[in-house]
Amino acid sequence: MLELIKSSDRGYADHGWLKSFHSFSFADYYNPQRMGFGALRVINEDRIAPGTGFGTHGHRDMEIISYVLDGELAHKDSMGNGEKGGAHAGVIKPGDVQRMSAGTGVMHSEFNNAQGRQTHFLQIWIMPDQRGVAPSYQQLHFPAEDKRGRLRLVASNDGAEGSVTIHADARLYAGLFNGDEAAELALAPGRLAYVHLVRGSLLVNGQTLAGGDALKLAGTDKLVLGQGSDAEVLVFDLAP
């Protein structure tokens, strides 16, 4: 199975301070054909106006990943992250991957504190394979050179290759491709793959993707990526 989902097929919400594209059903956007894929439940492409953001709100039993593309996102939570003297400063910048395991429950807020600069980021939710874990937070930086012309593992259930650790049978890769740069990713039998092109254009398994497009794959043993033009891509390797 191979299904191309065009950027224009996503849900869209304009709240003034927040403009958001929804790859899957979220909030007021409901599409019974877009309820998630495997454990992947949410990919929201958000743009937050300067000096605004998400006020304090709660989550539980969800693995939440933030991937900043431009600007900065200030995170503060009930675990002390973002507070003076906290374990983490809580400011997420391009190249950073932030993981918050909501577990038994966590309160947090996210703001664009910059003046005159929009924050553009992806908010990703993955269903955990363990419920009721203790809430936790992790933030790592992956420089562009680590992703150039290859798929860099940035999240996994075992922290392999220095990736952030999630409580889910899923692996998330990030890559940058331009010109002749190309990569392949082998998939174990029965695994699902979801490719989300963040920006640029890219050829994936014979399908041309433009920014915001996605590709759902099942029953394939390999992803082949190439012919990129300023492409930034996220690839999810998921349990069925």
What is the reported pLDDT for 88?
A: 67
223/111 Cα distance (integer angstroms): 36
Residue 115 pLDDT = 84
pLDDT per residue, tens digit, the chain (240 aa), is: 999 999 999 999 999 999 999 999 999 999 999 999 999 999 999 999 999 999 999 999 999 999 999 999 999 888 988 776 666 677 899 999 999 999 999 999 999 988 889 999 999 999 999 999 999 999 999 999 999 999 999 999 999 999 999 999 999 999 999 999 999 999 999 999 999 999 999 999 999 999 999 999 999 999 999 999 999 999 999 999
Whole-number pLDDT of residue 174: 98
What DSSP string describes 143-173? -HHHHBTSEEEEEESS-GGGPEE-SSSEEEE
Q: How many domains does the chain have?
A: 1
Domain that holds residue 100: 2-238
Separation CA 176–CA 28 (nearest Å): 33
Is-contact 198 232, C-beta < 8 A? yes
Task: Please report the pLDDT score of residue 57 as a whole number.
Answer: 93
Contact between 10 and 212 under an 8 Å Cβ cutoff? The reply is: yes
- Residue 146 to residues 149, 157, 166, 190: CA-CA distances in angstroms? 9, 20, 20, 28
Half-sphere exposure in the Cβ direction for 234 (13 Å, CA): 28
In this prediction, residue 101 carries a pLDDT of: 96
Alpha-carbon distance 202 to 235, whole Å?
A: 12
**CA distances (Å), origin 14, targets 18, 20, 108, 229:** 6, 7, 22, 29
H-helix or E-strand spanning residue 59? strand 53-59
Question: CATH no. for residue 157?
Answer: 2.60.120.10
Which 8-state DSSP code applies to residue 1?
A: -
Compute the distance between CA of residue 44 and CA of residue 240 in angstroms, rounded to an integer.
Answer: 22
